[in-house]
Structure 1
Amino acid sequence: MNDSPATLSRARFRFLCGLLFCTGMTSLIFQIIWLRGFSIILGSTIYSMACVVTVFMLGLAVGSLIMSRLLKGGGKLAERPLAAYGTVELLVGISALIITWTLFSHQDFYLSLSGSPTAPLLSRLVAQFSVCLALIGIPTALMGMTLPLLSQLVADRRQVSALYGVNTIGAATGSIIASFVLIYYFGCIRAGAFAAAVNALIFTVALAANRFFPPAQEPAAEQPPPDAASTPEGRMLSRPLMLAMAIFSGFVALSCEITWTRFLSLCFGNRIYVTSIALSIILLFMGQAARMSSAMLRGTTPLWRILLYACSLTLISFSAALLLERSAFQPTEPGLVVLFILLMVVFPATALGLIFPLTLAARPAGVTNGASWVGLVYGMNTLASLVGSLASGYVLINLIGSNGLIAFNSVLLLIALAGLAYGFRSHFKLSDHALGGVAVVGFLAIIAPKSLQVPPVVDAERAVVRSEDAHGIFSVVQMDEGRLRVLNNRTDLVYLYGDPSTQYVQESQAFLPILYAPKLEKVLNIGSGYGITAGAFSRVNEVKSIEAVEIVPALVEHAKLFSPGNHDYFTNPRVKIHITDGRHFLATTPERYDIISINVSDPYLPGSSSLFSHEFYELTKSRLGPGGVMAQHIFGPDMATLYHGIREVFPHVKAIPSYGNGLTVIASADPLEPRQRDLFLQRYNEGRALFDTIGIPDGLMGFERLVLLGDETLKELSSRAPAFRNSDDMPALEFRRLPGQLGLFYSNN
């Protein structure tokens, strides 16, 4: 490149790329941290997560649009763009670090503002949106200002596309670094401090280099000739059409991302690392597409034909992927899984990722300030992304599912194809017709028929139930001996229904705390699952009120499948069922309980791990009445550490063996005595009326022998030092590197 007003030297351009790479990286680090922090304050539900992403994108859009207006008027921002960019980055670091610190240190205050989890959905969303906007609105708006500011330094439209691509690749890198390094080794607050330090370094470097980067002059050659508007290419480059392209690409890309993320989790696994990897893959190939668009702009291929190829190849790729869907989700052939990911995610993300950078780099007739145009287009694209994410994540995924969402976006792509075919029909070559024709046939023959099917996570012939909503793909599979396996995506929610050990463990989570609780007035069951524990509580007449909290709606909707094991708890007038996040419910309820029983499928999964943190146990302790007890099932390779985490808050612990690798423990701030022993003996035939259904024929005596066995196990666990301390800021369980080749990807599957 020549050192001219229109084109930066290679060294200076690479310098700007380095800055924007770091900008993208720190932005995603903060987003990953905030997603975790808000999951505690707002609940670990799909809606609260979508709320955080929505506000994040809204901030980016607003910041970009504000900067577009400011740059249009010129002034000091236009005179010293690199210094202004560095100052904005410093403000991002300071404000984002403050927010990160308050998220993990002032949870009670924000919980008081987040609304009741039992309120109507619209009311909850308004409260959650308000809290998110108040907290991260300013730093995200500042983040949105950075690309328009730096684009003042380049007048060559190809370089603008490349800058956007590098920024996106930096975001992909930030997603990986946040999960695999920063949070894992240092915790959330110190990870935020690292990102803020990088922001401060950007400020220092940008300020020092400011004098070497004067604002670029818009070259006259970039403006189209007077008669350009009468040509097909000129009409495509008109301001309204280019904005429409930006809006279209933003909506479709983010709508597809909802499905891509789900499909990648179905292929890769259920750990927190999978989410980071999925986000990184999507951002990486979209960023690479932006860099490719820079090279395409140097060629002679007209813009409309590039768009035609992008839309057609995306449709063809979707068609081929859906043909492999069944085989890819039954992971017997790793090669097919890789091919499915390439066809469903990588190729479409790359093709769709071309559209917006081309729009970003264009200079329609009448645009005199390139940086202002970048801000406007970037803001409109981000707003459309926000709408695509909201519409798909809140509404469409519930109505039409993942395959239906792919079909919905395919229809939008077909509409775009039809518009291109009509507008440029006189310029179409035979190859253009052939490519478009294959895309249409693929849609009609494959995508449209598949749109009505739920993705086959399990063998369809053995599936009793297969449904999909925003929370995932829910499956109930008929196993041998009449047992049922229940999954959400690829995660087993509970051990097999119908297995004697399942009934024993889950009923014991009611009977063990009942035996030791001084009062039996109010009970809370977090993670109701099959409803067996709530049903067991309902069998004890002295229990007056039972609140059952379950985060997966389908488990409650299909509760009748798990009868008589759950004793039809859903029809019992003493049982009140809440479909929400259990920790958020506990944190926001004013009630005090005699027993809180927690049944979590896996301590290593996102969301579940926060029910094993120090802060959660402190919260549970504060919600117990005098002498109240907590019950929880602990298991796995870190069982000793889990036990020490409970003992750190509750000095008195009892337990019984459960399954083959765990314990059902109860804990209390007061000494544990079998206060309800006479109740079991006198009212329930020495316990036989309750314990016979879980395989303890000699009633209370047999149950007490199990407690003695549990005491021996607790002594052994006490002798082992804890491997770590799990807290909200240092979520060691969620980011634990489990043993085995697939420990980073799968937990209980």
Structure 2
Amino acid sequence: MNKLPERWVIPLLAIIFVVSGFSGLIYQSIWTHYLKLFLGHAAYAQALVLATFMGGLALGSWWAATLSGSGRRLLLLYAAAEAAIGVYALLFHEAFVQLLSLAFEVVLPAAGSETLALLFKWLAGVLLILPPSILLGTTFPLMAEGVIERSPERRGEWLGLLYAGNSFGAAVGVLASGMVLIKLLGLPGTVQLAGLLNIGVALAVALLVFCTAPVVAAVPVSPPLPVFEGDDSRRVYRILLACAALTGLASFIYEIVWIRMLTMVLGSATNAFELMLASFILGLALGGWWIRRRIDHLREPLVTLAWIQLLMGLLAAATLLFYNQLFDLMAHMMQGLARNEQGYVAYKLASFALAMLVMLPATICAGMTLPIVTATLGHSGYGERASGHVYALNTLGAIVGVGLAALVLLPLLGLRTTLLLGACIDVGLALWLMLSTGSSQRVLVTLVAGAVGLSVVFVFSSFDTLRMASSVYRTGLLYPADTKVVFHRDGRTASIAVIKDVDGYMSIATNGKTDASISPAPNPVDGDEETMKLLAALPLSLLPAARTAAVIGFGSGMSTHTLLGSEPLERVDTIEIEPAMVAGARLFGAPVERAYTDPRSQVHIEDARTFFSVRQQHYDLIVSEPSNPWVSGVAGLFSHEHYQEVKKYLNPGGIYTQWLQLYEFDLELAFSVFKAFAAAFDDYAVYLGADSDLIIMGVSEGRLPRPGDIVASPELQQELARIGVNNRADLESRLLVDASMLRPLLSGTSFPENSDYQPYVDQHAERARFLDRGEAQLQRLNRIWLLVDKDRQRRVLREQSAAPSHVVPRRAAEARVVSDLFRNGLQLGADVDPEQSRLAYEAAVSVSRLLYRCNPQMVEDGWLGDAVWLSDVTSVYGEPDQITPFWNALLGSTCYSQLEPHLQATFGFFQAVSARDDKEILRLGRLLVDYRYDVAGFWNYRILHMLAAYARLGESRQGASFAASQQGNGVMELDSQVLAAWLAAGGRTDTGITP
């Protein structure tokens, strides 16, 4: 068998090691996704995975340092390690699912304590990913020594090449995992692909070993680096190992702090974290690549290391000097980008550039350190032990850095001081290295440079907490200067701020993203306040005798406060994972006071799944108010698995209620959530909170009740009146769609069900946020109920309060304006104030012109749009015959007789809709099938009202057949799709809407 030329061996091994790095960081990324499902928060998962990953690398490296033998043997051991990693990856998903089941169904209920549960979860998480991490830790030392044996005189160059190539592959692996692979393959498919890559790497290395000739012992050459011997050698050995450990400690303090800092600039989406991680690793790769050809020619490696450590510390600290300006850069970028697909790609690239701007300078220095340390020790006679020991202590330092920064330093010292502490470690290490060289001049220069540099940063850097709370990555805008940050705290999982403007409007932000806001009276009510109160009012109206309730997520505390206004409630448990959120929300004062002072209120700092599993308590009501689904980790609260799990803790007939932000969302994502919800609950309904918020409600078993009168205290009645909720009709008017309407449509759509392991929402929500795709079609679904159920329409329109913040009262007010304008049938009401509804007034003026300016071209060019709007607003949100006199007059006018037949049928159709003449609606609608107007949505308007007519007549089969016949003629709007699917399913329901 022909042997492979020797000159090809090392380049091929280097390429293989790039692939190994690619798969290795897929694991770090994917394990974070898995463990945030187990630990309950992305920040905890990131910290645990980082620490365990680095700890495993340390143990593996140390173990590899004890192994000896020829380069061939070490490379075969490397192949065996890669193969074992691959096999473990193929089995990982099933092992995780079994662990999850064991933990939450057996161990945590038996623990009976949140502290014991926390210890178990962290220990189990470590044990789950530690074995493959140890194996990954062996790969660098084994590969390095296998390569170096073939060319020991170029030890430093090969170490730098391998370190750079592996790191570069790792950076690409992080991006590929987060941006592409999880979307295509889900979590199980991605981790299994990485496993197959490891097995492929193992086979490639084994084949390469057997296809090359054994290495002939190299002739000793004079090493280019200085050799340390005797006591000097042992002293340098200790210094360099300490250097490896301390630089790992400082580097990962930087990483934890930078990730939190950049989260407020780039956003806290999952992909933003992966961009930051990739930037960090890319810096390491570039440092290793740059130093690879220089290592073997360094005459004073300790001095070089000292300068690198000094520079790294100062560059890391310097990021504090321009941090505030990053928000300005992001603002300019967001203002200049188009909200389209090309703009989204540019946004991601620009975000990556900002992350690199912060991380690259210092991490390039970090990337030079390990190759220099390892090569220096290797040339000093420590051989193959050097790679393992250096790599082990570096990763051990990294573990300490991650744990200290995430769990201790950030909550205790804050971001700025923690970063400066890391810089002090690097500068102190540089000073120690210089002292070891015996050069007093260099020591003095290092001391002065470090002291001056850190002092400048300390004096001239400061964090603009107003910028940090501005959500600039969403809006491209910064808060005005007269807005005040009245609370800011860097917590373990997030940085929390409370902001107050000059009008008293207050909001609370998590990592710069506003999670709740309140506008104190007499200011107009805020949208968040409306939804937060409805989250409590709606389930209380459905189950007024509820005695126990749980709230997932503290937010502002208003939902908990509102629930406690119900006298029958005996206990409300609120579960919040970040203590700083509870501390900050206290500043909202009276609107949330009961959450803090009522003895029935208990706040628990824990993730919800662990809390429910440990306590094993059941509730009549569970209310969930998560942040937006694009925030990392939040999409798991909208998954099939979450809904199945939380349902276990409802009493029979208990109700689960959840806030789903409709803004920065799209129809596909909403349907993905609805599918997951529908699979878990027997019956459900979707209500409208504020115009941009949905409230999803499900019952554990049986039928979901309809809203009734709210049994509440006088104080609560007064609070609800502020958002326009005074009676049952005010709640009933907010119904968008229930299970009988939505389930048939969901079964016919191809949108995937959101799942923990196929995270459709998590992977697509940030894109929807950037494109600003608030799904307006969902807000229109309440038209269905008002069209098909006459009794409901009359009751809602007659009894509801005048709450201009809600769509139904607003449209009803517009319908009344139209009625006043046409009260005489032939002319506009002279005493109507057009400012009551400018849109209604202008549409009425436009339509009335046809009575005295008969121009068929004008009808098709512009008049038709106004007519559709007038007809729709009065037929859906007003008394059906409000403007029937006008249509009657128009049909009897001279102009009408001059119009072509299809235009006469069009006007007749408006008149029939106004009069609710269902048979005439269907007759004229069929005549207009061949006439498609490309203006004003007339086609969808005609389809909707024809389907409603079929529903009111009880002709479900005919209505479904008609809808099917129209599928190829245009794209039906969502309300028509829902109504068509309902008719196809028989058009029957048990909630009183049966035609």
Q: Same fold (TM over 0.5)?
A: yes
Corresponding residue for 1:440? 451
Q: Does 1:19 align with 2:16?
A: yes
Aligned match of 1:303:
301
Letter of the aligned partner of 1:34 in structure 2? Answer: W
SS of match in other structure, 2:658: strand
Summarize the Cα distance change of 1:124–1:389 in structure 2 as closer, same or farther, 3 Å threshold. farther
- Counterpart of 1:487 in structure 2 is 509
Contact 1:223 1:363 in 2 (8 A): no
How much does 1:206 deviate? 1.6
Q: 1:736 to 1:341 in 2, by over 3 A?
A: closer
CA contact (8 A) 1:503 1:565 kept: no
Aligned pairs (5 A) from 1:555-566: 555-566=581-592
**Quick check: 2:108–2:613 contact (8 Å CA) kept in 1?**
no
Aligned twin of 2:195:
196
* Contact 1:692–1:699 (8 Å) recurs in 2: no
Give yes or no for contact 1:24–1:170 (8 Å, CA) kept in 2. Answer: yes
User: 1:255: which partner in 2?
Assistant: 253
**Segment of structure 1 superposing worse, 293-302 or 549-558:** 293-302
Alpha carbons of 1:296 and 1:121: their partners in 2 closer, same or farther (altered >3 Å)? farther
SS class of match (2:631): coil
Aligned to 1:145, the other structure's residue is in SS state helix
Q: Give the letter for the 1:652 counterpart.
A: D
Instruction: Report the Cα distance in structure 1 between the residues aligned to 2:372 and 2:388, rounded to whole angstroms.
Output: 14
The alignment status of 1:209 with 2:208, answered yes or no, reads: yes
Greater shift, 106-115 or 90-99, is seen at: 106-115
Bigger mean CA deviation after superposition, 216-225 or 722-731: 216-225
Query: 1:362 maps to which residue?
Result: 376
What are the Cα deviations for residues 463-508 of structure 1, in whole angstroms up to 9, with x where unaligned?
Answer: 1112212223221111353111221222222245544332221111
Q: Quote the residue 2:159 is aligned against.
A: 160
- The answer to which of 308-317 and 454-463 deviates more is 454-463
Instruction: Give deviations 1:591-637, integer Å, cap 9, x for gaps.
Output: 11111111112122211100110111111222211111110122231
Change (3 A) 1:401 1:236: farther
Q: In 2, distance between residues paired with 1:117 and 1:24?
A: 40
Match of 1:329 among 322, 327, 330: 327
Q: Which residue of 2 aligns with 1:129?
A: 122
- Helix, strand or coil at the partner of 1:723: coil
What residue is the counterpart of 1:242 in the other structure?
A: 240
Measured against aligned partners, the alpha-carbon deviations of 1:653-702 in whole angstroms (never above 9, x if no partner) come to 13331122232121114343548846x36x66899456324322x32342
The within-5 A match list for 1:420-569 is 420-424=433-437, 426=439, 437-447=448-458, 450=461, 457-458=468-469, 462-496=484-518, 498=520, 499-517=525-543, 520-569=546-595
Matched residue SS, 2:245: helix
Correspondence list, 1:285-300, <5 A? 285-300=283-298
Contact 1:531 1:566 in 2 (8 A): yes
Which one of 81, 86, 90 corresponds to residue 83 of structure 2?
A: 90
- Alpha-carbon shift at residue 63 of structure 1 (Å): 1.4
**Residues 44/728 of structure 1: CA separation in 2 closer, same or farther (3 Å cut):** same
Hey, what does 1:347 align to over in structure 2?
A: 361
What TM-score, normalized by structure 2, do the two folds share? 0.67
Check the 8 A contact 1:81/1:215 in 2, yes or no: no
Q: Is the Cα contact below 8 Å between 1:42 and 1:114 reproduced in 2?
A: no
- Give the secondary structure class of the aligned counterpart of 1:568: helix
CA distance in 1, matches of 2:677, 2:406: 36
Residues 106 and 367 (structure 1), Cα distance of their counterparts in 2 relative to 1, 3 Å cut: same
Decide which moves more: 380-389 or 278-287.
380-389
Equivalent of 1:50, from 47, 51, 54? 47
Aligned-residue offset at 1:54? 1.8
Pair 1:108–1:60, CA change in 2 (3 A): same
Q: Given residue 166 of structure 1, which amino acid in structure 2 is its aligned partner?
A: G
Residue 734 of structure 1, CA deviation: 0.6
Distance 1:130 1:338, change over 3 A: closer
What is the CA distance between 1:113 and its match in structure 2?
7.0
Residues 638 and 754 in structure 2, CA contact (< 8 A), matched pair in contact too: yes
**Alpha carbons of structure 1 residues 136 and 450: separation in structure 2 relative to 1, 3 Å:** same
Q: Distance in 1 between matches of 2:740 and 2:182?
A: 31
Question: Among residues 250, 263, 266, which one is paired with 1:265 in the alignment?
Answer: 263
Mapped contact 2:672–2:760 kept (Cα < 8 A)? no
Structure with higher RCO (Cα < 8 A, 6+ apart):
1
Instruction: Look up the match of 1:661.
Output: 692
- Relative distance call for 1:122 and 1:621 in structure 2 (3 A) is closer
The answer to whether residue 413 in structure 2 is matched with residue 408 in structure 1 is: no
Is the aligned partner of 1:65 residue 2:91?
no
Q: Deviation of residue 135 (structure 1)?
A: 1.6
**8 Å contact 2:254–2:316 — kept in the other structure?**
no
Per-residue deviation, 1:428 = 5.2
- Secondary structure of the structure 2 residue equivalent to 1:295: coil
| In 1, Cα distance between equivalents of 2:251 and 2:233 | 24
Letter in 2 for 1:141: I
One-letter code aligned to 1:392: A
Q: 519-528 or 339-348: which moved more?
A: 339-348
Pick which of 166-175 and 433-442 moved more.
433-442
Structure-1 residue corresponding to 2:781: none
What is the CA–CA distance in structure 1 between the aligned matches of 2:461 and 2:112, rounded to whole Å? Answer: 36
* Alpha-carbon distance between aligned partners in 2 of 1:101 and 1:9, rounded to the nearest angstrom: 43
Quote the offset at 1:434 in angstroms: 6.3
CA 1:104–1:39 in structure 2 vs 1: closer, same or farther (change >3 Å)?
same
Quick one: which amino acid aligns to residue 660 of structure 1? Answer: D
Aligned: 1:111 with 2:104: yes
Contact 2:284 2:364 in 1 (8 A): yes
CA distance in 2, matches of 1:261, 1:116: 34
Deviations 1:3-25 (A, max 9, x none): 9xxxx955222211122112111
**Partner Cα separation in structure 2 for residue 633 and residue 666 of structure 1:** 9
Q: 1:205 to 1:404 in 2, by over 3 A?
A: same
C-alpha change, 1:142 and 1:519, in structure 2 (3 Å) is: farther
Partner SS for 2:656: strand
**Equivalent residue number for residue 38 of structure 2:** 41
**In structure 2, do the counterparts of structure 1 residues 36 and 672 end up closer, same or farther at CA, with 3 Å as the change threshold?**
same
Q: SS state of the match for residue 394, structure 1?
A: helix
- Give secondary structure in 1 for the equivalent of 2:67: helix
Give the distance between the partners of 1:339 and 1:197, measured in 2 at CA: 32
Contact 1:255 1:389 in 2 (8 A): yes
Q: Verify the 8 A CA contact 1:41 1:111 in the aligned structure 2.
A: no
- Bigger Rg, which one: 2
* CA distance in structure 2 between the partners assigned to 1:641 and 1:299 by the alignment: 59
Over 3 Å counting, the alpha-carbon distance change for 1:79 and 1:539 in structure 2 is same
CA distance in 1, matches of 2:118, 2:223: 46
Q: Deviations over 1:549-607 (max 9, x none)?
A: 11232221123212222243111111110122223333443111111111112122211
Distance 1:575 1:10, change over 3 A: farther
Partners of 1:183 and 1:535 in 2: CA distance: 39
Q: Are residues 410 and 120 of structure 1, via their aligned partners in 2, closer, same or farther at CA, if it must alter by over 3 Å?
A: farther
Instruction: State TM-score, norm by structure 1.
Output: 0.88
Aligned length: 727
* Contact kept? 1:593, 1:625, Cα under 8 Å: yes
Quick one: distance in 1 between partners of 2:587 and 2:124?
Answer: 39
The equivalent of 2:185 in structure 1 is: 186
Q: Tell me the equivalent position of 1:177.
A: 176
Measure, in 1, the Cα distance between the counterparts of 2:376 and 2:104: 46
| Residue in 1 that maps onto 2:400 | 387
Match of 2:815 in 1: none
Task: Please tell me the root mean square deviation across aligned C-alpha atoms, in Å.
Answer: 3.5
* Cα displacement string for residues 178-198 of structure 1 (whole angstroms, at most 9, x for unaligned residues): 111111111011111111111
